[in-house]
Amino acid sequence: MTRRRVLGIGAALGAMAATGLSATAAMSRRPSYTGAELRSAVPLPPAFQVPLPIPSVLAPVNGRYEITQRETTAEILPGVRTPLWTYGGTFPGPTIESRRGRPITVRHRNELPVPTVVHLHGGRTPAESDGYPTDLVLPERWSHGGHVMHDPRAVQTRLTRDYTFPLDQRAALLWYHDHRMDFTAPAIWCGLAGLHIVRDDAEDSLGLPAGRRELPLMITDRAFEADGRFAYPALDPTLRLRPGVRGPFLGGVLGDVILVNGAPWPVHEVDAARYRLRVLNASNARHYELQAITDDGRRLDLVQIGADQGLLASPVTHASLPTAPAERHDLILDFSDVPVGARVRIVNRLGSGRTRDVMAFRVARKAADESRVPRVLARDLPTWQRRDAAEVREFSFRAGRMRGGHGWLINGLPFDPARTDVTTRLGDIEVWRLVADVHHPVHLHLVGFQVLSRGGRAPLPHDAGLKDTISLRPGEAAEIITRFDGYRGRYLFHCHNAEHEDMGMMANLEIT
């Protein structure tokens, strides 16, 4: 049962104006270690009323993409104005669509009141553009520079930075988000997240649902203050100096409103045809177990065709699909048997009350469907074998002490930019054994990996394909195998529960 508790906070609201964040929302605590849930202080709209927004696709200017990070206000809940931190004025930010092997440059301009760092999650990116947490883009006027954790290798710029992405990688749904040292979680919460789709000819030739029938779905949870701001339990609501969240939220911050592409419990009109749903769980800490159900209670299969790092070898059918923060699932949902006028709800079996609903589709019309879902989707998946591993390493992901308080540790240590945790050779294959105390979605930068085992047994159906984030369940050990391929330099691996990440659960990976 959900226990609800109300926190009385006499917080200095004036100081919070800069971020639009506040910490006075009522809170309910769920009996789980993945986080505590904030409760909104505004009336919430009924589900399935707001149309699903599709983030606009960014056009390059003189061969370069330009994104200005700036504050704005948007109407997320009908009739409620919510201040946001955005990429280019929208949440989600604009989608970048790129082609495999065609390098792009994105110039980010930071007009926010705090430093930022951009990371392309899932990108095979040279270290200098990978968004290392201390490689800050400082605002034009920022005088606190020196407080940032000492890191002699940090490369900081003021106002703008050009990120270059070779995109020499499989076609996949990637996403870009803030990665600033100690403040990633609240920055993403404020709105700093966007999609990036890499395409290639092989995928284009498969005949998968495309155009209007390919929908990116960025799922997040948020909570709202009475005045419309996002609620967030930051210790320093200006997000300038002091990192961290209030005690009850050390496990992660959950909201009581589910947003898809920035809209609450949206609805989307579809043809009675196959759709390709490119699902990203961009929530800070919330896990979902997705299911598609018609209003008369019939369950539709979720046919998975791709994972974090692109297409599977062949489709995998799920009755329900768990998704952890930062994971992507490329799904085919077939509405052809659904009567015109009927509705299909996407629900979250791990939710309760309002958080059980995610979004809905309303079948609007019969239509021709030329799309196909081939039995063989890709032939380029790696065939790494355990015996090829040059190294087998073990990492624990556990709660512990950090800076005299609570933290989240990898092998007993909180993140330190000055310490190299793992040194590996470019081209080497390694097996990593990851052990968790509570839920930890573990993410590696630069490389994709395959899941070798889970809990000492074969991987689960949703472990299929090439991943960059693996959801470790409480008390579980899993093994992954990868080849450290791409570029030399300093990279990261970390828990993608964004609050855990900010509270120490990150480590350095040096590729030499």
CA 505 to chain centroid? 16
Q: Closer to ligand C2O at the Cβ: 118 or 377?
A: 118
DSSP state of 141: S
Is residue 109 within 8 A of residue 66, CB to CB? The reply is yes
Nearest to 197 by CA among 268, 118, 100: 100
Q: Please count the other Cβ atoms lying within 10 Å of the Cβ belonging to residue 241.
A: 12
Tell whether residue 213 is a contact of ligand C2O (CB under 6 A): no
The listed partner (ligand C2O, Cu ion, none) that binds 196, CB under 5 to 8 Å by sort, is none
The listed partner (Cu ion, ligand C2O, none) that binds 500, CB under 5 to 8 Å by sort, is Cu ion
Stretch of 37-45, 50-58, 383-391, 488-496 contacting ligand C2O, by CB under 6 A:
488-496
The listed partner (Cu ion, ligand C2O, none) that binds 494, CB under 5 to 8 Å by sort, is ligand C2O
Taking CB under 6 A as the criterion, the residue among 180, 213, 440, 445 binding ligand C2O is: 445
Q: Closer to ligand C2O at the Cβ: 24 or 508?
A: 508
Tell whether residue 121 is a contact of ligand C2O (CB under 6 A): yes
Is residue 220 within 8 A of residue 190, CB to CB? The reply is no
Residues contributing to the site for Cu ion (CB under 5 A): 121, 440, 445, 495, 497, 500
- Say how far apart CA 111 and CA 139 lie, in whole Å: 6
Nearest to 350 by CA among 273, 288, 440: 288
Write down the least CB distance from residue 157 to Cu ion, Å.
20
Q: Closer to ligand C2O at the Cβ: 274 or 496?
A: 496
The listed partner (Cu ion, ligand C2O, none) that binds 444, CB under 5 to 8 Å by sort, is none
Is residue 103 within 8 A of residue 167, CB to CB? The reply is yes
Tell whether residue 263 is a contact of ligand C2O (CB under 6 A): no
- Say how far apart CA 510 and CA 28 lie, in whole Å: 41
Write down the least CB distance from residue 23 to Cu ion, Å.
22
The residue number whose beta carbon is nearest to ligand C2O equals: 121
Tell whether residue 443 is a contact of ligand C2O (CB under 6 A): yes
- Pull the structure tokens for residue 151: 């890191």
Tell whether residue 500 is a contact of ligand C2O (CB under 6 A): no
Per-residue burial over 13-44, b = 16 or more CB atoms within 10 Å of its CB, e = otherwise: eeebebbbbbbbbbbbbbebbbbbbbbbbbeb
Stretch of 159-167, 260-268, 422-430, 489-497 contacting ligand C2O, by CB under 6 A:
489-497
Nearest to 347 by CA among 283, 294, 308: 294
Write down the least CB distance from residue 252 to Cu ion, Å.
8
Taking CB under 6 A as the criterion, the residue among 108, 318, 329, 494 binding ligand C2O is: 494
Amino acid sitting at position 344: V
Taking CB under 6 A as the criterion, the residue among 30, 124, 170, 177 binding ligand C2O is: 177
Q: Closer to Cu ion at the Cβ: 91 or 397?
A: 397
Exposure of 39 in the CB half-sphere (CA atoms within 13 A) = 14
> What percent helix, strand, coil does the chain show, rounded to 5?
10, 45, 45
Q: Closer to Cu ion at the Cβ: 451 or 506?
A: 506
Taking CB under 6 A as the criterion, the residue among 100, 124, 161, 179 binding ligand C2O is: 179
Write down the least CB distance from residue 372 to ligand C2O, Å.
32
Stretch of 2-10, 143-151, 220-228, 491-499 contacting ligand C2O, by CB under 6 A:
491-499
Stretch of 6-14, 252-260, 269-277, 492-500 contacting ligand C2O, by CB under 6 A:
492-500
Q: What is the CA radius of gyration of the chain?
A: 21
Q: Closer to ligand C2O at the Cβ: 213 or 496?
A: 496
Is residue 400 within 8 A of residue 409, CB to CB? The reply is yes
Q: Closer to ligand C2O at the Cβ: 301 or 416?
A: 416
- Say how far apart CA 332 and CA 268 lie, in whole Å: 16
Write down the least CB distance from residue 395 to ligand C2O, Å.
15
The listed partner (Cu ion, ligand C2O, none) that binds 326, CB under 5 to 8 Å by sort, is ligand C2O
Q: Closer to Cu ion at the Cβ: 83 or 448?
A: 448
3-state class (DSSP) for residue 203: helix
Amino acid sitting at position 21: L
Stretch of 13-21, 141-149, 474-482, 490-498 contacting ligand C2O, by CB under 6 A:
490-498
Q: Cα–Cα distances in Å, from 407 out to 65, 101, 145, 354, 398?
A: 38, 40, 24, 30, 9
Q: Cα–Cα distances in Å, from 112 out to 142, 143, 223, 414?
A: 10, 14, 22, 28
Q: What is the DSSP string of 3-67?
A: EEE-------GGGGTTTT-B--SEEEE-SSTT-EEEE-SSPPPPTT-SBPP-PPBPPPBTTBEEE
Tell whether residue 326 is a contact of ligand C2O (CB under 6 A): yes
Write down the least CB distance from residue 104 to ligand C2O, Å.
19
Q: Closer to Cu ion at the Cβ: 266 or 465?
A: 465
Q: Closer to Cu ion at the Cβ: 121 or 329?
A: 121
Q: Closer to ligand C2O at the Cβ: 9 or 149?
A: 149
HEC string of 260-318? ECCEECCEEEEEECEEEEEEEECCCCCCEEEEEEECCCCEECEEEEEECCEEEEEEEEE
Q: Closer to ligand C2O at the Cβ: 132 or 224?
A: 132
Tell whether residue 467 is a contact of ligand C2O (CB under 6 A): no
The listed partner (Cu ion, ligand C2O, none) that binds 495, CB under 5 to 8 Å by sort, is Cu ion
- The β-bridge relationship of strands 506-511 and 489-495 is antiparallel
- Contact residues for ligand C2O (CB under 6 A)? 119, 121, 177, 179, 326, 443, 445, 492, 494, 496
